[in-house]
Chain A
Amino acid sequence: MRHVRVEELCAASRVLIVAGKGGVGKTTVTAALATAAARTGTSVLIVEVEGKSGLATSFGVPALEYEEAEVRRGVRARTLTPDHALLEYLEDRGLRRISKRLVRSGALDVIATAVPGMKDILVLGKVKQLERAGVADLIIIDAPAAGHAITFLTSARGMLDSVRVGPVRTQAQDVLDLLSDPTRCRVMLVTLPEETPVNELVETAFALEERVGVSLAPVVVNAMPGDLAVAAHHLSSDVATAGLDIPSAELRALTAAAAFRHERHGLAREQADRLAARLPLPQIRLPYLFSEIGPTEVDALADAFTAEVRALPDTTLRDPAS
């Protein structure tokens, strides 16, 4: 069987939107994916849309800003908040003066309210602009948390229903074109190997396919506890064979910690397999790391990412429409 290479996965579409429920590790996955891609010579731009600080911590760099900055070799990152996107949108159309007034008068909130999804559309519209300009081989969007991710991605469709004419409608149409073209954009969903997050990922996956018509990249099951591979062996016989002398309290501690790890590993496998049964998408399983995520951990996860991608069947990249 032919195997998939990371650069092929990354070349399948220029935009990858990383989405999932809060707390599942979207930002960590974004960092690992970007690193794995950059190692193959792919130029990467990460776009952070919520103003969170996690990415900067993962890469061990100062807080991200609207201006791009290189966060590690081959990986640039920037923020793209709705307010900035709106100001830029208006300035691009020669409406610099009104943009100031919109903000000052508080009318911005009202307009954003009047046009649901306006802010999301502006952000995605800007992403489309970056994609069209070819600013990087791969643009990774660290998307908002799940419930909101659906809103975020369905905003274009909603906008077409509520706004009949005007540049915002055009923008919405452009965004929808981007989202529904698998050669330009895919969504990579992230979950933890736990019951509720898995259930929510399945719901999100179907909602996105049905309501947005967006194509899904392989799903990432994050923080899989590794197997200690000692469960089949008795501690006491291993102690004897190894010729060790260990106090009984320490033996109990070793046993309890190993049993906990083994149980977590089993449960995680069970949930990842359940996900595979319910959602026919290839899986990339990343290991649970004990330490807080920093540059070293991101490197380790990028290694794991690369290895997992190699193990994917080569049907993974086939255009779902073909």
Chain B
Amino acid sequence: MSRLATDLETRHVLVCCGTGGVGKTTTSAVLALSAARLGRRAIVVTIDPAKRLADTLGLEALGNVAHEIPRERWDADGTAAAGGQMFALMLDTPATFEELVRRYSSNDEQTERILDNRFYRNIAGALSGTQEYMAMEKLHELHEEGGYDLIVVDTPPTRHALDFLDAPARLTRLLDNRIFRVLMAPTRTGLRIAGAALQAFFRTVAKVVGAEVIDDVVAFFRAFEGMEQGFRERAATMTELLAAPTTGFVLVTSPRSDAVREAEYFAERLAESDLEVAALVVNRVHPDFSEGRDAGALAARAAELASRAATAPPATHDAIARMAARYANLAEYAALTRREREQLDDAGTRIGAVTVAYVPSLTHDVVDFTALDTVASHVLSAGDTEALG
């Protein structure tokens, strides 16, 4: 059995990370599907799936609620282990935030005051970072209450795909900010208790962004009063959950050098936080047609044929030219696959992932269960890479 299959059988949380466009959502769905096929109760939490993949996962209309995908859809041939279940959920960031507010507010009046606040609506709807935080929050909730064997989380395609890790800490920092502690001070006189320097500061800020904005912020933090402790504790348990030995990170990349660099960068960050990279999944690897033939020799053959074609009589010219084109094409793929493999093996070594799975470039987008199964077979056939570890 491959090492990744062991992960799918024993881990409780798998977090898929990677830069945009590398097939992170697909990989997340594949991991949940594979775990379900191994007999586990598995859920995939997606952030912003492509429409057709969302349809496949039955996510058309359902936001933020886990729902089970009927077994006959993901196990059409009936070969999956007994007891397996597959669930999917599409993260609705504002709805998750609202649930969180309701959970920690002491009464309906406080809830409504927060939900109506413009600053709150800004954060809930538009703030980059909120999505990451709410993905964490959803993970936490599913972990505490869902009864799942395995939760696979897709992460938002953020600039450097790192915000997810920082999300709980960032909120804590916001709550700990000195300015906000002043704003939160239990007084009716509001800003007047703040020092003169701080007042001046706020006046200046108000001049730039408008006093209304400051008023909204103050009102928001007032309304939030008493809730920050709950939030802070929750942030701490989220951080613990990420660091738990049953949690693993799956780095997803493509063979493109920029995506590989991002994956390495992410691996460094995970290592700094003592978080474990369970696997590196490389999607869209080109097939190796050359079977070990040397790209340079193939290119030389192409060039030789091309020069022969140039002086060949009309009867044979076209055929020789086409042979040159075929050799040039094979040479290009040979060089490409060699470069991809070298680059990825180096990256695998540096990242120190226990498993490196290569998924070939497929003809069509992976949007149905047949295609997900195909990808799964490649991901799971990944050999152990002790040599790389």
Residues of chain A having any CB pair with chain B under 8 Å? 21-24, 50-54, 57, 90, 93, 95, 98, 101-102, 105-107, 109-111, 113-118, 144-148, 151, 158, 162-169, 194-197, 199-200, 228-230, 233, 235, 237-239, 241-244, 249-250, 253-254, 256-258, 260-261, 263, 267, 290, 292
Residues of B within 8 A of A95 (CB): 204, 208
Question: Assuming A148-B128, A242-B323, A244-B323, is B22 touching A23 (CB within 8 A)?
Answer: yes
| B300 lies within 8 A of chain A by Cβ | no
Distance of A23 Cα from B259 Cα, bound (Å): 8
CB contact between B177 and one of A110, A144, A258 (< 8 Å): that residue: A110
| B290 lies within 8 A of chain A by Cβ | yes
- A22 near B19 (CB under 8 angstroms)? yes
| B266 lies within 8 A of chain A by Cβ | no
Interface residues of B in 1-40 (CB under 8 A from A): 19-22
- B213 near A115 (CB under 8 angstroms)? yes
CB contact between B122 and one of A50, A162, A256 (< 8 Å): that residue: A162
- B254 near A166 (CB under 8 angstroms)? no
Residues of B within 8 A of A290 (CB): 332-333, 335-336
- A256 near B289 (CB under 8 angstroms)? yes
Question: Assuming A196-B52, A258-B326, is B363 touching A243 (CB within 8 A)?
Answer: no
- A107 near B210 (CB under 8 angstroms)? no
Residues of B within 8 A of A102 (CB): 205
Shortest Cβ gap from A301 to chain B (Å): 16
Chain B's closest residue to A267 (CB) is: B363
- B365 near A195 (CB under 8 angstroms)? yes
- A115 near B122 (CB under 8 angstroms)? yes
- B333 near A164 (CB under 8 angstroms)? no
Residues of A within 8 A of B177 (CB): 105-107, 110
Residues of A within 8 A of B48 (CB): 147
7 A-B residue pairs with Cβ-Cβ distance under 8 Å, sorted by A, are A102-B205, A116-B125, A162-B122, A196-B367, A228-B325, A241-B316, A242-B316
- B126 near A151 (CB under 8 angstroms)? yes
Chain A's closest residue to B131 (CB) is: A147
- B20 near A254 (CB under 8 angstroms)? no
Residues of B within 8 A of A235 (CB): 326
Chain B's closest residue to A155 (CB) is: B126
Residues of B within 8 A of A117 (CB): 126
Residues of A within 8 A of B206 (CB): 166
Count A-B contacts at CB 8 Å: 189
Distance of A250 Cα from B331 Cα, bound (Å): 12
Residues of A within 8 A of B210 (CB): 163-166, 168-169
- B319 near A241 (CB under 8 angstroms)? yes
Distance of A93 Cα from B208 Cα, bound (Å): 9
CB contact between B209 and one of A168, A199, A233, A254 (< 8 Å): that residue: A168
- A110 near B123 (CB under 8 angstroms)? no
Max chain A CB contacts within 10 Å: which of B52, B206, B258? B258
Residues of B within 8 A of A151 (CB): 126, 128
Shortest Cβ gap from A298 to chain B (Å): 15
Residues of chain B having any CB pair with chain A under 8 Å? 19-22, 48, 50-52, 118-119, 122-123, 125-128, 157, 159, 170, 173-174, 177-180, 201, 204-214, 216-217, 254, 256-259, 261, 287, 289-291, 293, 305, 315-316, 319-320, 322-323, 325-327, 329-330, 332-333, 335-336, 339, 363-365, 367
Residues of B within 8 A of A23 (CB): 19-22, 254, 256, 259
CB contact between B289 and one of A107, A200, A257 (< 8 Å): that residue: A257
Residues of B within 8 A of A263 (CB): 363
Shortest Cβ gap from A133 to chain B (Å): 22
Shortest Cβ gap from B20 to chain A (Å): 2
Shortest Cβ gap from B223 to chain A (Å): 14
Distance of A54 Cα from B211 Cα, bound (Å): 40
Distance of A113 Cα from B174 Cα, bound (Å): 10
Shortest Cβ gap from B243 to chain A (Å): 24
Shortest Cβ gap from A272 to chain B (Å): 15
- B209 near A260 (CB under 8 angstroms)? no
- B330 near A196 (CB under 8 angstroms)? no
Shortest Cβ gap from A89 to chain B (Å): 8
Shortest Cβ gap from B120 to chain A (Å): 10
- B208 near A90 (CB under 8 angstroms)? yes
Residues of B within 8 A of A195 (CB): 52, 364-365, 367
Distance of A260 Cα from B364 Cα, bound (Å): 13
- B293 near A250 (CB under 8 angstroms)? yes
Distance of A96 Cα from B159 Cα, bound (Å): 29
Residues of B within 8 A of A107 (CB): 177, 179, 201, 205
Residues of A within 8 A of B291 (CB): 249, 253
CB contact between B322 and one of A21, A114, A230, A257 (< 8 Å): that residue: A230
Distance of A110 Cα from B333 Cα, bound (Å): 50
Max chain A CB contacts within 10 Å: which of B178, B180, B208? B208
Residues of B within 8 A of A21 (CB): 20-21
CB contact between A162 and one of B51, B118, B204, B367 (< 8 Å): that residue: B118
- A106 near B207 (CB under 8 angstroms)? no
Distance of A228 Cα from B256 Cα, bound (Å): 23
Question: Assuming A21-B20, A24-B21, A158-B126, is B159 touching A144 (CB within 8 A)?
Answer: yes
Chain B's closest residue to A253 (CB) is: B289
Shortest Cβ gap from B196 to chain A (Å): 14
